[in-house]
Amino acid sequence: QVQLVESGGGLVQAGGSLRLSCAVSGSIFAADTMDWYQQAPGKQRDLVATITRDGSTYYADSVKGRFTISRDNSKNTVYLQMSNLKPEDTAVYYCRAFIRTKPYWGQGTQVTVAS
C-alpha cells in the first residue's frame, strides 16, 4: 500500500523558515511528478509547487522567490523549503505524487505563520 508521509510543519514567526518533507513508501516504482498544495481554512486546495522526475519545477506566483521545491529520487522524497514566510502562508500543506499515472496524497501538515 502506497503511503505519503509528510513532516516539518509547525508554528513560525513571519519572516521565518520551515522545511517540509514528504516520503513515499510502499511502492516498488519511483514517483514521477510530485507536488505541494496548500489549503487554508474555508478555501480550496491550491497548487504551490511542482517538480518532475528530471527536476523541472513550477511555482505559484505567490511563492516565487520564497519557496523552493526539490527531491531526492533515491529516497522517493520531495521537499519544500519555505523562506520569508508570511501570515497568508498559513495553511495545511499536502504533498501529491504520481506513481504510474495514479495520484497519491499525503495526510497534510499544518503550517502556521504568526505575525
Strand order in the sheet with 77-82: 3-7, 18-25, 77-82, 67-72
Question: Which tens digits make up the pLDDT trace of 48-65?
Answer: 999 999 999 999 999 999
- Is pLDDT at 107 greater than 90 in this prediction? yes
CA 32 to chain centre: 15
Mean pLDDT of 97-102: 95
Question: Which tens digits make up the pLDDT trace of 9-63?
Answer: 999 999 999 999 999 999 888 899 999 999 999 999 999 999 999 999 999 999 9
| Percentage above 70 pLDDT, the chain | 100
